[in-house]
């Protein structure tokens, strides 16, 4: 008696054969996905380049509020600005994203230099006053992060899709 | 006597034995090397895990534009969080979970902008044929290509839960059940039975169409 007989080749398909057929079909789907819906090559290249975004010297400001997730929808208001809050230790960054650009403030108020990052190698300075209030008249196109240089340290906000 | 046959409950009882070309036990070491500045380790992570992240984006039926941005956001954030990830050997689950949350945000944002429209109807993935697809057409493996196309079509008729599960399941290398759970927000314990049900439903549909 060989393994096939034991598992009922002649009659009803046995559980082992069903599982084997499942595994085959799954593998077939895997090959189909690789051919019909592969990861776009240019995307892979972009994220390969993103290794430079790994910055050990910067402190990470985590997203603690996102109006898309945390705010109750207001009836009749369909284009409410996106409100974001990032926090790193004592420092808080509030940002409002609209179709016109960014408005925000660093708390506690302080003089900071701020850049908007748009991907590997893309950084654009924004205007900030001595109280940490800043504006940018260019809305982020795609993923963005803010890099803040205070007197003592560098803080980067978590990457986010605007 | 059972050697040489696939154990019937392999997928249900020992889900964590899944995982292919990128050996999942190596992932933690790759993350550590990347933290230490090893660009080759980063490349291995990107190439090994991109199909998983992409499958999550596709499972949520984002448009190409939204999907590309989510994909980048997830990886940019991963680069940023390297060294801060609590369980580096579960980086795949971290990526899958982050991708899921970003996808849900996009869908929520779309729902808010267009309250009466179904974003999944508005934002169908593009129907453009890839170069690989065209190549298949020109080769003599036309029958196989036809079956692959049918399989792909039948996925849409399986219902949303099955379509989502199978789209993530078919990432390459095969994702672990922990990664699938993170990608779709379903319990690890329900993946095995669901997988079996969905694959068999798909097979039945193919049989019904008289596919080879």
For residue A141, name the pLDDT band (cuts at 50, 70, 90): confident
- Sorted by where each begins, the domain ranges of chain A are 3-36, 57-161
Residue B118: predicted pLDDT: 41
Which of A28, A123, A161 would best serve as a mutation to test chain B binding (most B beta carbons within 10 A)? A161
Domain chopping of chain B, boundaries: 21-208
Residue A162 contacts residue A142 (beta carbons within 8 Å): yes
| Reported CATH class of domain A57-161 | mainly beta
Q: Where does chain A show beta strands of DSSP type E?
A: 59-66, 82-88, 91-98, 101-107, 113-119, 122-128, 133-136, 143-149, 154-157, 160-161
Please provide the average confidence, as pLDDT, over all residues in chain A: 87
How many Å lie between the alpha carbon of A9 and the closest alpha carbon of chain B? 12
Rg, chain B, Cα only: 19
Cβ distance A47 to B34 less than 8 Å, yes or no, reads no
A145 pLDDT exceeds 50?
yes
- Of A56-60, A142-146, B39-43, B181-185, minimum mean pLDDT range: A56-60
For B112-159, what is each residue's pLDDT tens digit? 655 444 444 333 444 455 666 655 556 556 888 888 889 999 999 999
At B28, the pLDDT band (50, 70, 90 cuts) reads very high
Question: How many other CB atoms sit within 10 Å of the CB of residue B139?
Answer: 10
CA distance B203 to chain A (A): 8
Closest B-chain CA to A57: B80
Please give the pLDDT value at position B116: 41
Q: Are B85 and B23 in contact (CB under 8 A)?
A: no
CB contact under 8 A, A43 and B4: no
**Residue of chain A minimizing CA distance to B195:** A22
What is the distance between the alpha carbons of residues A153 and B61, in angstroms, rounded to a whole number? 41
| Beta carbons of B178 and B188 less than 8 angstroms apart | yes
B76-109 pLDDT per residue, tens: 999 999 988 889 999 999 999 999 999 999 998 8
Nearest CA in chain A to B136: A35
- Residue A11, pLDDT above cutoff 90: no
**Lowest mean pLDDT segment, chosen from A65-69, A154-158, B135-139:** B135-139
Nearest Cβ partner for A143 among B76, B132, B151: B76
pLDDT at B117: 41
Q: What is the ipTM of this complex?
A: 0.87
Q: Do A28 and B8 touch (CB under 8 A)?
A: no
Min CA distance, A129 vs chain B (Å)? 27
pLDDT of B4 over the 50 cut:
no
Mean pLDDT of A40-49: 96
User: What letter does residue B37 receive in the DSSP assignment?
Assistant: T
Residue of A nearest to B70 (CA): A161
Partners of residue B196 in chain A, C-beta under 8 Å: 22
Secondary structure class of A114 (helix, strand, coil): strand
The reply to whether residue B69 touches residue A143, judged by beta carbons under 8 angstroms, is yes
For the segment A132-157, the average pLDDT, to the nearest whole number, is 93
> How near does any CA of chain B get to the CA of A45, in Å?
9
CB-side exposure of B195: number of CA atoms within 13 Å? 34
Separation between Cα atoms, residue B168 and residue B181, nearest integer Å = 10
Q: Chain A residue with minimal CA distance to B35?
A: A54
Q: In chain B, what residues touch A51 (CB-CB under 8 Å)? A: 34, 39, 42, 79
Percent of chain B whose predicted confidence (pLDDT) is above 90: 62
Say whether pLDDT at B196 is over 90.
yes
The mean-pLDDT minimum among A1-5, B65-69, B73-77, B80-84 falls in: A1-5
What pLDDT shows up at residue B1?
Answer: 39
Q: Decide if pLDDT at B190 tops 60.
A: yes
Bridge partner list, A21: none
pLDDT score of B16: 39
Chain B positions touching A18 (Cβ under 8 A) are 8, 200
Q: For chains A and B, count residue pairs whose Cβ atoms are closer than 8 Å.
A: 174
Split at pLDDT 50, 70, 90, the class of A4 is very low
């Amino acid at each position: 008696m060989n393994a096939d007989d034991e598992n009922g080749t002649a009659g009803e398909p046995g559980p082992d054969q069903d599982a084997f057929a499942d595994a085959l079909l799954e593998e077939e789907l895997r090959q189909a996905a690789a051919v019909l819906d592969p990861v776009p090559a240019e995307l892979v290249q972009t994220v390969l380049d993103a290794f430079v975004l790994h910055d050990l010297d910067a402190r990470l400001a985590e997203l603690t509020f996102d109006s898309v997730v945390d705010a109750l929808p207001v009836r009749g208001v369909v284009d409410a600005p996106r409100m974001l809050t990032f926090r790193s230790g004592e420092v808080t960054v509030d940002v409002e994203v609209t179709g016109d650009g960014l408005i925000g403030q660093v708390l506690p108020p302080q003089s900071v230099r701020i850049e908007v990052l748009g991907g590997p190698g893309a950084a654009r300075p924004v205007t900030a006053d001595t109280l940490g209030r800043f504006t940018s008249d260019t809305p982020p196109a795609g993923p963005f992060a803010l890099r803040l240089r205070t007197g003592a340290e560098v803080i980067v906000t978590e990457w986010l899709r605007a | 006597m059972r050697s040489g046959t696939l154990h019937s409950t392999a997928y249900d009882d020992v889900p964590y034995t899944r995982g292919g070309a990128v050996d999942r036990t190596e992932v933690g070491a790759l993350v550590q090397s990347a933290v230490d500045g090893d660009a080759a380790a980063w490349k291995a992570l990107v190439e090994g895990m991109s199909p998983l992240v992409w499958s999550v984006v596709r499972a949520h039926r984002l448009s190409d534009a939204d999907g590309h941005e989510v994909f980048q956001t997830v990886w940019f954030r991963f680069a940023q969080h390297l060294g801060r990830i609590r369980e580096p050997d579960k980086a795949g689950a971290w990526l899958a979970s982050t991708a899921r949350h970003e996808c849900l945000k996009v869908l929520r944002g779309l729902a808010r902008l267009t309250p009466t429209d179904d974003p999944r109807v508005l934002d169908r993935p593009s129907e453009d044929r890839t170069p690989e697809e065209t190549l298949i057409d020109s080769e003599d493996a036309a029958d196989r290509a036809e079956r692959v196309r049918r399989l792909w079509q039948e996925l849409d008729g399986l219902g949303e839960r099955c379509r989502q599960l199978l789209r993530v399941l078919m990432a390459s290398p095969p994702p672990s059940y922990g990664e699938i759970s993170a990608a779709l927000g379903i319990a690890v314990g329900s993946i095995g039975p669901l997988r079996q049900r969905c694959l068999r439903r798909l097979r039945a549909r193919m049989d019904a169409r008289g596919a080879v």
